[in-house]
Amino acid sequence: MLVLGIETSCDETAAAVVSDDRRILANVVLSQIAAHQPYGGIVPEVAARAHLDATDVIVGQAMAEAGIGFGDLSAVAATAGPGLIGGVLVGAMTGKAIALASHLPFVAVNHLEGHALTARLIGEVPFPYLLLLISGGHCQLLAVEGVGRYRRLGTTIDDALGEAFDKTAKLLGLGYPGGPKIEAKAGAGDPKRFDLPRPMRGRPGCDFSFSGLKTSVRRTLETLNEVSETDIADMAASFQLAAAETLAERSRNAISMFKESHPTGRHLVVAGGVAANRCIGGALAELATAEGMTLVVPPANLCTDNGAMIAWAGLERFRLGMTDGLDFKARPRWPLDPDAPPAAFAGVKA
């Protein structure tokens, strides 16, 4: 069973072919970082036009690397939301066109479900498991009970963590994208120098808040007469440590909630682009060990947006009979847990 996956929800144009025995036959990703760097962030119209120019080429490259034709596929999957709607439309329409022309089933994939199920692409991770999804647009804790079955335990009430990394990097003059740049600077910094807040610490539940952390960085920098390279490195390290400890503290609460409702669950899965950060990974590894959980973090190339995660999520849905009509409408908002309260700042508002 082979599925083509297409991902165009943000600033990567990606396509991949994945088999039901977990082989990734091709996984091609074209980054738009260079196009967005002059603006210090992602410009939706620029992203959509770049997807329009590149998607057919990237799909063709993935099929060539896999060494197959469209007739060898079992289904076509494409991200249909949530995301920047211009880009989402490009990928979804490309997937529908291939499915129609090749007489194949079409699977509309929730981008967040792609992240949520990636752990099952890299190994045997049974349901249920606890998912920490951390990226530029999303910061959520969810109980993953099965394909298409998610219960949100916590979310950010303001900024997503990836967004906070980007904004902090901008304050430090490091440019875009912020996550890798802050991690690189932090390696030479003192994480204890600046006493930054751990937002929401000690509060019940497992919601997040990162706006105050970002504001504290700005105010601290304003007290410095002249910001040196040492100051930048120390602030990057201090911010990174504050973020890691905040994630660990809020995730500890989520583990307690998860164990109470899902006593057979033993895995803590971390997904999304921020999951590649080594400091955060270390903090979560310590937490998992202390709580008797098994930590699962996909390799970095499967944490950031990619086509393989969409192909795998599409395959998981396809073999359960979850296919979609070609009239499926792309969605800028698409919560994994439709019963959870709307969250305006979490990228999941209904």
Q: Where are the beta strands (DSSP E) in 32-148?
A: 75-81, 106-110, 129-134, 139-146
Distances from the Cα of 33 to the Cαs of 5, 11, 110, 137, in angstroms?
21, 7, 23, 16
Residue 344 pLDDT level (bands cut at 50, 70, 90) = low
Vertex 144, ends 140 and 149: CA angle to 5°? 105
* Backbone dihedral region for residue 273 (phi beyond 0: left; psi -120 to 50: alpha; all else: beta): alpha
CB 206 within 8 A of CB 250: yes
The residue that leads in pLDDT, 346 or 171, is: 171
Q: Which two tokens stand for residue 110?
A: 């929730």
Whether 343 has a pLDDT exceeding 80, the answer reads no
User: For 248-260, what is the mean pLDDT?
Assistant: 97
Superfamily of domain 2-117+301-318: ATPase, nucleotide binding domain (3.30.420.40)
pLDDT tens for 72-91 read 999 999 999 999 999 999 99
| pLDDT at residue number 121 | 98
User: For 121-133, what is the mean pLDDT?
Assistant: 97
Whether 50 has a pLDDT exceeding 80, the answer reads yes
| pLDDT at residue number 346 | 47
First to last CA, the chain: 33
Whether 300 has a pLDDT exceeding 50, the answer reads yes
Location of each CATH 3.30.420.40 domain in the chain: 2-117+301-318, 128-300
Give the burial class of 162: count Cβ atoms within 10 A of its Cβ; 0-12 exposed, 13-18 middle, 19 or more buried.
buried
Q: In CATH, what number does 128-300 get?
A: 3.30.420.40
User: For 285-291, what is the mean pLDDT?
Assistant: 98
